[in-house]
Chain A
Amino acid sequence: MSDGKPASLDWIGTLIGFDTTSRDSNLDLINHVKDYLAGLGVASTLTFDDDKRKANLYATLGPTDRPGILLSGHTDVVPVDGQDWSSDPFRVVAKNGRLYGRGTCDMKSFIAVCLTFAPKFLERGLETPIHFAFSYDEEVGCVGVRRLIAMVNGLGIKPKMCIVGEPTNMQVTIGHKGKHSYRARVRGYEAHSSLAPIGVNAVEYAAEAVAYLKGMARRIAQEGPFDTLYDVPHTTVHTGTIRGGTALNIVPKDCTFDFEFRYLPEIGHEGYFSEIETYLRETLEPQMHALDPATGFTIEELSSIPGLSMDPGEEVVTFAKSLAGRNDHAKVAFGTEAGLFQQRAGIPTVVCGPGSVDQAHKPNEFVSLEQIEKCEQFMEKLLDHVSGR
């Protein structure tokens, strides 16, 4: 840091400037990174989605004949729709020791620090390779990373450990919850609303199901099971979106809502899902069928992301702690691609990155300069290690 400011500021500004809301293409960002690495003599492998609108990037710095350390992050961000921002979300604003912008915290700053250190890794000379894995569509179900992992699984040499840089205030995180989301479609029976008692109101039955899920959430929060290492120490369930009904003078025939479980990996979520399904089939549907047998609930799985569960004694855990300069570890409620690296790629993984999830997904998202500095210190120690010094 030459003038007291973190070296990664330029890259943070550049990456934030790409609007990579998940529904849009991320190719501008990916190609920019690819070209930059090519300029350093590093080749990148891109794996695309079906429409070729989005891509993952995988690159290896240093020797290609031995397993190295994988630094991973997602390039997409959540929408800003309907949020009240004080500044342009896609233009970094530095104020009061913070950098504001969509993705500053979740999680382009980590990627920026990686890219800032790329020339340093190469200059110093690497004994242990550093791999970069930057994915698309994490926010909509860790969609992109699955293709990247399939590609990595086919490589002769795979990384020996992985650090996913989601925001943890630079605390080494050895566990995160799994996430399983569902779409429920409710089919009612239409009638003129003056004859409401003979119809089956899909919106009202959906509301009963949503209220039951909320009741489950309350009960789990009170009774557990608990894992006190988690900041939210129990499974949570919530309803995220709902849409149903047409005109007010028609009893609604259709209503759709999405809900998700974030579950303790050791417990799983199947029991809870079974409970809501039983409620629908045994309590609500009979009431609906009494008026019309063609009514009811259909449930479709939307996305499933395994949890992360690492033993504190594992090598990647102690290694990451030495880089972070701290001995504590934590578990977090939010999902990351780390669970997939552990379960699908068989690569021991931890999560450790700058910023706090408290700012994620919100308007006026920010990361503090202090966190960026800590992340850069982490990378310096990594640099020392992989260069054999």
Chain B
Amino acid sequence: MLSSLASPGRPLQRRRNAVTDDPISLPIIEKLIGFDTTSRESNLDLIDYVKGYLADLGVDSLLVHDDDRRKANLYATVGPKDRPGICLSGHTDVVPVDGQAWDTAPFKAVVRDGKIFGRGTADMKSFIAIALAFVPRLLDRGLKTPVHLAFSYDEEVGHLGAKRLIEIVKDMPVKPAMCIVGEPTSLGVIIGHKGKKKVRIHVRGHEAHSSLTHEGVNAIEYAARLIAFIQETARGWQKDGPFDDECDVPFTTMQVGMIKGGTAPNIVPQSCVFDMEIRHLPNVDPEALFDGIRRHARDAIEPEMKAVAPDAGFDFEESPSNLALNTDPEEAVVAFVKRLAGQNRHGKVGFGTEAGLFQQRAGIPTVVCGPGDIAQAHKPNEFITLDQVRKGEAFMARLADYVVSEQLAGAA
């Protein structure tokens, strides 16, 4: 039981680097940023580094690979293996820097003006680095409650790594009692987030010479009509709800991401493809929402296309959804993480994380709490403030104080 959480907090042991005032995790942050782990690339160099670092401390790692063995998840237990502990989870991959104007090299951490710049500083290698930096301290002091590290690949492209890892973790004889996913929340305690549904829409038109537009079915123009409906529907949700005021963007959002269509300017386009995503409130069913889009395409737009060419129309390629997180605020993990973060409040966020997978697939109570601000994520000149790193270290120090002195009883 976590009853000891009700006692007054221990004095915070702030470790300062003996030589400078830098956060202790800075060297590992710099090391991890230096690995280009854009999702499409292999992450094995980073994973090998982490595996080696842990091995040098006497901690074994389990690697769970993808089919091509180009990427791997890493799972390691620090401390006793015979009892459930606290899982710290994060993804090792980052989004592309393609087409972005960076002032510094994105894969080299630069410390300037109280910030660390680099791709992944906020989202989310700093959290991983802080966890790793504390492992020696945990082992020195001796753990009563284990800390499980779960680092995944391909989170940014569909939680692909975590899905494999969780299939294995959920069936372990001893699995974590709770999980903290360290995505950037400025160390706010996040108990819910939206789910995400992605669909690729193929529009089939009918070709003709562009001087005879009425004989063709212009796939781009019909795509534009459906996109206009998507945009209008999204604006309707923004205006009329449903609302969940605990989410920072308190309504379901929907957007179109990538579009490509047509060949030459003087040919009526036969094909157009675009991607859309729905980020839905935790309590809302994404299938019902998408069904509205599909029905509009079939009932309101397709008949006009088929009147000119019977083969014209829409195809919908649906990807497996990213699950929402919906943790009850009364769950023990919520109070626990509030103590670690020094926060009394909780909230929900609009972005997705692997927390939904831990909760719904593995049945592990989970919250999201990590250093850094989502506003910098995915952008050029991504950064994390040194202040946030220090706060992340303070969080980890409180966690360390707990695990070396208390034992969780049974699985939560």
Contact = CB atoms under 8 A, between A and B. Distances in A.
Interface of A: 78-79, 81-83, 139-140, 177, 181, 190-197, 201, 203-204, 206-208, 210-211, 213-214, 217, 221, 231-232, 236, 238-255, 257-260, 262, 302, 332-335, 357-358, 360-363
Contacts of A246: 96, 98-99, 257-258
Contacts of B378: 190, 192, 249-250
Contacts of B259: 203, 206-207, 242-245, 255
Contacts of B257: 193, 203, 245-250, 252
Given A239-B220, A246-B258, A361-B209, A194 B269 contact: no
Contacts of B104: none
A241 B255 contact: no
Interface residues of B, number: 63
Contacts of B269: 239-241
Contact of A260 (B198, B210, B215, B253): B210
Given A194-B279, A238-B268, A255-B259, A210 B220 contact: yes
A181 B259 CA distance: 21
B118 interface: no
Given A197-B253, A203-B227, A360-B209, A239 B218 contact: yes
19 contacts: A177-B211, A181-B265, A190-B378, A192-B351, A192-B375, A194-B253, A194-B349, A194-B352, A195-B375, A203-B256, A204-B227, A204-B230, A204-B231, A206-B259, A211-B228, A238-B221, A250-B378, A334-B212, A361-B208
Given A192-B374, A249-B95, A197 B249 contact: yes
Contacts of B223: 207, 242
Given A232-B212, A302-B265, A357-B209, A193 B277 contact: yes
Among A195, A206, A257, chain B packs the most CB atoms within 10 A around the CB of A195
Nearest to B222: A214
Contacts of B220: 210, 239-242, 257
Contacts of B209: 334, 357-358, 360-362
Contacts of A335: 211
B224 A241 contact: no
B262 A242 contact: yes
Contacts of A252: 256-258
Contacts of A197: 238, 249, 253
A247 B95 contact: yes
B226 to A, nearest CB: 9
Nearest to B100: A190
Among B209, B225, B228, chain A packs the most CB atoms within 10 A around the CB of B209
Contacts of B260: 242-244
Among A79, A252, A254, chain B packs the most CB atoms within 10 A around the CB of A252
B141 interface: no
A259 B98 CA distance: 27
Contacts of B238: 197
A214 B274 CA distance: 19
B224 A211 contact: yes
Nearest to A332: B211
Among A206, A207, A262, A333, chain B packs the most CB atoms within 10 A around the CB of A207
A245 B218 contact: no
A210 B256 contact: no
Contacts of B231: 201, 204, 207-208
Interface in B212-266: 212-215, 218, 220-221, 223-225, 227-228, 230-231, 234, 238, 249, 253-266
